[in-house]
Structures are given as structure tokens and as C-alpha cells.
Amino acid sequence: MSTVSAFRVLVVDDNAAIHDDFRKILCPTGPSTTELDTVEADILGMVPEPGLMTRFELDVATQGAEGLELLRRALEEGRPYGLAFVDMRMPPGWDGIETVIQLWRAQSDLQVVICTAYSDHSLENIHQGLGQSDNLLILKKPFDNVEVLQLAHALTRKWGLGVQNRLRLEELHAQIQREMSGRLQVEESLRQAQKMEAIGQLASGVAHDFNNLLTIIQGHASLCLERLEAAAAADPTMADSIRQISQASLRASALTRQLLAFGRKQMLQPRTLKLEDVVNDLSKSLLRVIGEHITFQRQFPDRR
């Protein structure tokens, strides 16, 4: 089974005979064990074997504008050219320099070989028109078949490696973005945890101080209630108020213990409550707070 590696090549030349020459060199027909197989094996440092020759897909255009249209179509199809051989003189249309400028505007990584048979187009003049580029070589006509084959191999493989490197860099960039996103999420979680820890410490400190105040309130309320109950002419309303103060301080003290447990990361001890008792205790305080225009009702299910 043969191994075939296909690269797409574009030839822009107004001479149909040149098109045929490139086809014979890059797209030979018949058995693959030809002189070109041997040449390729020498280039790659391999032992010539049937079926190992690199294959090229070749498209041709007679004018620069036509070549640009082929290149754009190839890009839209997702099958770009890796190499273009461009003739220098193609009257009446664009010359080689203008053609290359247009091709590079559409595909900046395209490898280009300018073919010229005229001495007036020196390397300096071409570079003045196109600038210095690693994607540009010049081939003098009449060219040698082996020279064309060498250029085709070297430049298409260079283009292919460039594509692979670009894809790899894009993959690495995407991976870095994912890792950075994950790192930012971890940092945000850490900041939230630090905030919660600070809130816990603050709550613990406030609850501790508040609990000290409640202890004083509860102690004095108990003393007042004892003296009032011992008095001969005790006021029932005042005694009830003091009891409410004492019970409220006990509930507040229980709340501060919960805050202290939260701030110190202690395990809370759940216990069973009788909801009716809790509501009855709270209702006595609520009735003193809400206005007379509000009706307060309690309704409990019959548990009998």
C-alpha cells in the first residue's frame, strides 16, 4: 500500500506550455518508480521505494486576478494552497509583483516562487516591490525539473509545518486560557473563604461582647424579680415585664452562643423545640411592639 502526502500548488502563468511543464514535474502519471522518485529519495535521504513519492494537487491560472479567485475559493473550502509559482510578466493583467501582493493579502502564509526570464527583474527590484519575506524565492527561466521539484518539496513542507505549529500554538493558548480561568475561579473561591473566615471572627468577637452584656441584664432582671415577688404588695404587671426581660435575655444569649459556635467552627448541637412555646414567648414581646391597628392571632393544630 503506497503512502501519499498531497499538497496543493497554484501556478499563475500566461503560458499554457508552462502549465504542462509543471504538471509533468509535480503530477507525473504512470508508475511511480521514475527518475523523479529517485530524485525525491535523494532529497529526503531515503531509499527509493515505489509509492513513496509526494503527490501535489495542481491548479493553474493564466492571469493574476484568476489566480486570486482560485486562492480565495480554496480558502473558503478549507483546502488552502501551500505554494504558488507566479510568472513575472503576464500582460495585459497584473505582473508578478502585483499578483503576489494580492495573494498575500488573502493568505499571508502562502509560499511563493516568482519565475522570471528577464534580467531587468533583479532580486533587489523584486524585494523593493514585495519587501523582505521568508515566504519568497525567485526562480530563473528556463528552470530545471529537479530544481522545481526541490522547491516544491521544501516549500510545501515548510508551509505544512507552519500550519501545524500555528494549530499547536492555538491549542496551547486555549489550554492556557482554560487553566487561567480555573485558577481565577480557585482564587475567587479562596477570597470568598477568607471573607467568610473574617466574618466568622468578627461575629465571634461581637457575640462574645454582647453575651457579656446579656449576662448583666439577665442577672439584674433575676434580682429584681426575686425582690418584687418577695414584696407584700407586688405589682403583677411589673413582675411579668421583668420575666419577659429575663426570657428575652436568655433567647439572645442562646443566639450569641450560636454565633460563637459559627465563628469558631464548632459543631452545633441540635435539640427538639416545642413550636407552640416558642411562638407564645415571642407573641408577648410582639404585642408590645406592634400597633393597635394590627390584629395578632395564633392558631395551632389540635394534637389530641
200 shares a domain with 72: no
> What is the Cα–Cα distance from 138 to 112, expressed in whole angstroms?
8
Q: If you average pLDDT over residues 17-37, what whole number do you get?
A: 76
In CATH, what number is assigned to the domain containing residue 29?
A: 3.40.50.2300
Q: How far is Cα of residue 42 from the mean position of the Cα atoms in its chain?
A: 45
> What is the Cα–Cα distance from 199 to 177, expressed in whole angstroms?
33
Q: Is the entire prediction scored with pTM above 0.75?
A: no
- Dihedral over Cα of 59, 63, 66, 72: its sign: positive
Nearest Cα neighbor of 200 from 258, 239, 148, 153 is 258
pLDDT in tens, 247-259: 778 777 777 777 6
131 shares a domain with 14: yes
C-alpha cell at 4: 501519499
User: Which residues are paired to 140 by β-bridges?
Assistant: 116
| Predicted local confidence at residue 268, as pLDDT | 60
pLDDT in tens, 196-242: 777 777 777 777 777 777 888 878 888 887 877 777 566 777 777 78
139 shares a domain with 12: yes
Q: If you average pLDDT over residues 82-89, what whole number do you get?
A: 94
The residue among 99, 122, 143 that closes a domain is: 143
> What is the Cα–Cα distance from 116 to 122, expressed in whole angstroms?
9
Number of structural domains (the chain) is 2
